[in-house]
A = this chain, B = another copy of it.
Amino acid sequence: MIEDKSQERTPLSDLGEFALIDHLTKSLKIKHKSTIKGIGDDAAVIECKTKQIVITTDLLVEGVHFDLSYMPLKHLGYKAVIVNLSDVYAMNATATQITVSIAVSNRFPLEALEELYAGIETAANIYNVDVVGGDTTSSTSGLLISVTAIGEVNKEDVVYRNGAKPNDLLVVTGDLGAAYLGLQVLEREKEVFKVNPKNQPDLDQYSYIIERQLKPEARKDIVKLLKELEVKPTAMIDISDGLSSEIMHLCKQSKLGCDLYENKIPLDPQVISTCEEFKIDSTTIALNGGEDYELLMTIAQEDYPKIKANPNLTVIGYMTEENSGMHLVTRAETKIPITAQGWNALNDQE
């Protein structure tokens, strides 16, 4: 939250558009043989190793999706890549390439874009994807990042949202609600900082939930794990808008209902303790928080033995017939309908 005012500031206008792109992308390395041509032509050229490719895109907008007063630019670059890779993994595919477009106002110096690109490059290296193209332009206000991710997948391995069957198990990876709660802590500290800029917050007890907000990871490991376990989910989606919203997508597209068990929803101890501190219900946070970038999938009952011992996968319910509806079975064993109160970027602007 504290800016180093002494850092160098090179105006973007000192470089031309082409020189800027060259400068920012010069350290990027091509890692995939299937990337025939990366940055530097009218378009990138990619060889199709598998018969099918997947493609997905997401926009991150300053003031809507991120707040630079607590989001370091390097983390932002990293996160912009992750949120797209998460969608690729949700198709049970391997991410291979990304394009990155940035619109940036002149209030950002070159050094800020270097930070942003350092985060993009770090994510590309860790997740083994090539940055093959993009566009860098000015904006009249603020920063906007548009990433498109490409992945490869064998035809028989693609997992859609609409393949779930009645009695399939509803399975989630990792734990939920932490990223949203991390955001609440950061928002609170920002308000404190406004009142007393000299106050240095002690955020140790929130380290996990803040990291989940500022530096989320995508579940590349799960695609690999599922292959090793020889489990192909019947349906899959990534959790970006909150568990309840994603469950509703799976149910609607598969034309099913579901029973979700409150006491099965995986929560980190830091989520539970912070919810207590904030006096909010942890189930509400897990259901509606969003930005978890975990995977939600449905798995056939016969595959249960293959997944039951795995610490990465938690069974949280099962699918039912459509006319049974979508329900949360509470700890008190009452059934309440699931409704989407997920994060909505458009309403947030009200």
Query: Interface residues, chain A, CB within 8 Å of chain B?
Result: 12-13, 15-17, 20, 36-37, 40-48, 50-59, 61-65, 87-88, 90-91, 93, 97, 99, 101-103, 105-106, 132-142, 144, 146, 148-151, 153, 155, 158, 160-162, 236-238, 253, 344-350
Contact = CB atoms under 8 A, between A and B. Distances in A.
A237 B36 CA distance: 17
A141 B141 contact: yes
Contacts of A54: 43-46
Contact of A346 (B20, B40, B90): B20
B47 A346 contact: no
B64 A140 contact: yes
29 contacts: A12-B346, A13-B347, A13-B349, A13-B350, A16-B346, A17-B345, A37-B160, A42-B56, A42-B88, A42-B90, A43-B54, A43-B87, A43-B93, A45-B52, A45-B54, A48-B48, A55-B55, A55-B99, A55-B150, A57-B99, A57-B134, A64-B140, A65-B137, A105-B349, A135-B146, A140-B142, A141-B141, A146-B146, A148-B148
Nearest to A132: B55
Given A90-B42, A99-B148, A151-B43, A138 B56 contact: no
Contacts of A37: 158, 160
A43 B88 contact: yes
A136 to B, nearest CB: 8
B349 A61 contact: no
A63 B140 contact: yes
Report, nearest first, the 8 A-B pairs whose CB atoms are least far apart.
A48-B48, A43-B56, A42-B90, A146-B146, A63-B140, A43-B54, A42-B87, A138-B349
Contacts of A345: 17, 137-138
A148 B48 contact: no
A51 to B, nearest CB: 6
A237 B348 CA distance: 42
A103 B59 CA distance: 8
A299 to B, nearest CB: 17
A240 to B, nearest CB: 9
A146 to B, nearest CB: 4
A106 B350 CA distance: 8
A101 B236 CA distance: 23
B16 A101 contact: no
A99 B148 CA distance: 9
Contacts of A158: 36-37, 45
Given A55-B150, A59-B146, A136-B346, 12 more contacts: A40-B161, A41-B91, A41-B161, A42-B87, A45-B91, A47-B52, A47-B155, A57-B99, A57-B101, A61-B139, A61-B140, A148-B148
Contacts of A53: 45-46, 48, 53
Contacts of A139: 61, 63-64, 142, 144
Nearest to A105: B349
A328 B103 CA distance: 34
B90 A43 contact: yes
